[in-house]
Amino acid sequence: MGMMWACSAASLACSRRLSRASRARRVGRLGRLAARGSEWSAGLQDPREFESEEDYLKTLEADGELPKGFRIANSNLTFIPEEAQEMGELPMRLTVLCLEEPSDMAAAVFTQNAFPGAPVRVGRCRFADKAKLQAVVVNNKISNVSPPDSDGGVSASEELCLELAKKLNLPGGGESVLPSSTGVIGWRLPVKEMVQALPTEEMLKGGSAVAAARGIMTTDRYPKLSAKTFDAGAKLVGIAKGAGMIEPNMATMLSFLMTDISFERTELQAMLEECVAASFNAISVDGDESTSDTVVLISSGRASADVSKEEFKAALKEVCCDLAAQVVRNGEGTQHVIRVSVSGADTDDTARRVGKAVVNGPLFKSAVAGNDPNVGRLIGKVGQTLGTDGAKMARDCVCKIGGETIFENGQFRLDTAKEQRLSSHLKFAAADCQLPYPQHRRVVDVEVVLGTGSGKAVVLGSDLTTEYVKINADYRS
C-alpha cells in the first residue's frame, strides 16, 4: 500500500509539473512570459496561476505577516437599515488595524468626488491637524455618505472612533482613530449596534494580515494583499478592497498600507501621492468614481534596520501597482483584465485619457467579454478621444492586440488567420468570474502608439459582462 501511495503521489506531482509546463508553453505562444508584476508592462504576461482557493490563500499567507508593531481584529454584527427596514437584518463586518503606539508617520490620499463620505471628511481633518494615529476602523455594508443627519454622518464616524479608543485604551482618544466605510451610499450607520460589536483589546492579534484583507471585502470575491520584505526583516504590507464603482481619482476603493520603516510624514505623503498616481489612479472597472476612495500609509517605526527612500518608494509603487491590478481582476463580473499601453502621445495626460477611454468604452468592453476581436470599437474609441485636435497623432496611430498589428497608416490590417489569433488571445486572458480566487494574472494586451511624442501611460480596466449588470441590479440586497 505504501509503495502504491508513493507511486500515486509521484504521478500526481509529475502531472502537475507537466500541466504547469504546458501552461508555460501556452503563455509563450500567446504572450511573453515575464516576472511577477508584469501586468503593467506592454507585451508581457504575469506568470502567476492558482489552482484553487486554498492554493491562492496559501500564497497570501506566505506574504502576509504583519510588520512589527501592528495588530488586527475583526468582528461581526447585524442591523436593520432605517432607510429600508423591509430588507430585515443585514450583516456588517468591522475591521481594526491597530499600532502598539501612536504614530505621526502616516500619509493618505482621498477621493476627489464633490460628495465625499463622512469618513473621508474626518480623515482629511485628522491629517490637516497632523494628529498621531494609532488605529484604523473599517466597516463594510454602509459607506456613510451624506445620510440625512445634521452633519452628514460625521458625528456617527466620530462616535465610532471615540468608542473604539475607549475599548482599546488608546491614549490619544478618538482623534487617534481613522474611520473608513464602504457600502451602500445614503444610509445611516447603525452606530449603536456597531459600538456594541467593536473589537476589544483582547481580540487584537499579530501574525497575518489576511484576516484584515478578508474583513474589508464587500462584493469582492477574494481578499487582496501584496507585500515586500526588506533586508533585516523590515516589511511593507498592503491590503485593498474594491470590485465595483472603480475609477479612483484620489488626488468604494479602500487600501491600507502598513510598514515598520521610519520616514517623516512629509516624505511618506510625497511618496504615496506619486505611487497612487501610477497605480490606483490608472485603473477602471466601470468608470464610476467612488465617494469613499481612500489609500492610507502608516508606519509603526519599529524596524531595526534603515531602508533608503529610493528602495522604499520602489517597493511602495510595486505594492500599489500589484493591489490596483488585483482590484481590477476582482472587479464585479470581470472575466478579462484589459491592459492599454499608450505611447508616442504629446503628453502623459493625453496618453492616460486615451487609455481610460478604451477601458471605459462599453462597446469594446462587451466585445472583449465575448472573446470577439471587434477591433473597430477600439479604433473608434481612440479616434473619439483624440478628436480633431489630435489629427496628427491619429494619422501616426498604430494599434496592436496581443502583439498583432490591427491598425496602421490609417487602415486596418486584418485577415482570417489574424482574427483567429486575436480571438485566441482573448480566450487566453479569460477567467471564471464566479470563482473565489483568481485563476491567473494574465491580461488582454492592447498597445496604442500615437506618434513620436514623449507622452505615455498604462491603464488597466475590465470587460463588461452580464454578471456585472446582475450584481449591480441587486446590490443593496
In a domain, 21, yes or no: no
Task: Give the Å distances, CA to CA, from 289 to 42, 184, 354, 419, 472.
Answer: 26, 14, 18, 35, 15
Residues 313 and 349 in one domain: no
State the angle between helix axes of 348-360 and 362-369 in degrees (0 to 180), rounded to the nearest 10: 60
- Residue at a domain's end among 329, 353, 374: 329
Judgement on whether residues 234 and 374 belong to the same structural domain of the protein: no
Count of domains forming the chain? 2
CA distance 123 to 402: 43
Task: State whether 154 and 288 are in the same domain.
Answer: yes
- Which residues are annotated binding-site positions? 218, 241, 252, 332, 472, 477
Asked if the structure places residue 16 within a domain, the reply is no
Q: Is residue 8 part of a domain?
A: no
Could you tell me if 358 and 228 lie in one domain?
no
Q: Do the domain assignments include residue 38?
A: no
Claim to verify: residue 100 and residue 167 sit in the same structural domain: yes
Could you tell me if 243 and 217 lie in one domain? Answer: yes
Are 351 and 464 contained in the same domain? Answer: yes
H or E element: which one contains 107? strand 106-110
Strand partners, 254: 241, 294
Asked if residue 165 is part of any domain, the answer here is yes
DSSP string, 221-278: SS-EEEEEE-GGG-EEEEEEE-SSS--------EEEEEE-----HHHHHHHHHHHHHT
Task: Tell me which of 329, 357, 382 is where a domain ends.
Answer: 329
Question: Catalytic positions, please?
Answer: 252
Same domain, 323 and 460: no
CATH number for 163: 3.60.70.12
DSSP 66: P
Contact 413, 406 (CB under 8 A): yes
pLDDT of residue 3: 41
Residues 257 and 400 in one domain: no
Q: How far is CA 290 from CA 111, 114, 252, in A?
A: 7, 10, 5
**pLDDT tens, position by position, for the chain (477 residues)?**
444 334 444 444 444 443 444 444 444 445 555 556 789 999 999 999 999 999 999 999 999 999 999 999 999 999 999 999 999 999 999 999 999 999 999 999 998 888 889 999 999 999 999 999 999 999 999 999 999 988 999 999 999 999 999 999 999 999 999 999 988 899 999 999 999 999 999 999 999 999 999 999 987 899 999 999 998 899 999 999 976 544 444 344 799 999 999 999 999 999 999 999 999 888 876 554 556 789 999 999 999 889 999 999 999 999 999 999 999 999 889 999 999 999 999 999 999 999 999 999 999 999 999 999 999 999 999 999 999 888 889 888 999 999 999 999 999 999 999 999 999 999 999 999 999 999 999 999 999 999 899 999 999 999 999 988 887 777 555
Tell me the residue ranges of DSSP E strands in 126-166. 133-139
The C-alpha cell that represents 25 in the structure block = 508553453
100 DSSP 8-state letter: E
Looking at the structure, do residues 380 and 457 belong to the same domain, yes or no? Answer: yes
Annotated binding site for substrate: 218, 241, 252, 332, 472, 477
CATH at 428? 3.10.20.340
Rounded to 10 degrees, the C-alpha dihedral 196/130/323/236 comes to -100
Q: Which residues pair with 106 in a beta bridge?
A: 298
Residue 22: inside a domain, yes or no? no
Domain contains 325: yes
- Whether residue 228 contacts residue 37, with contact meaning beta carbons closer than 8 Å, is answered with no
Residue 120, all three cell numbers = 473621508
- The whole domain housing 423 covers 337-473
In a domain, 39, yes or no: no
Shared domain for 321 and 457, answered yes or no, is: no
The CA–CA distances, whole Å, from 356 to 161, 169, 288, 441, 442 equal: 37, 46, 12, 20, 19
Q: Which of 282, 308, 329 is the last residue of a domain?
A: 329
Residue 344 dihedral angles phi and psi, to the nearest 5°: 75, 10
Residue type, 421: R
Same domain, 244 and 206: yes
Expressed in percent and rounded to 5, the helix, strand and coil fractions of the chain are: 40, 25, 35
**Residue reference for cell 474626518:** 122
Neighbours of 405 (CB within 10 A): 15
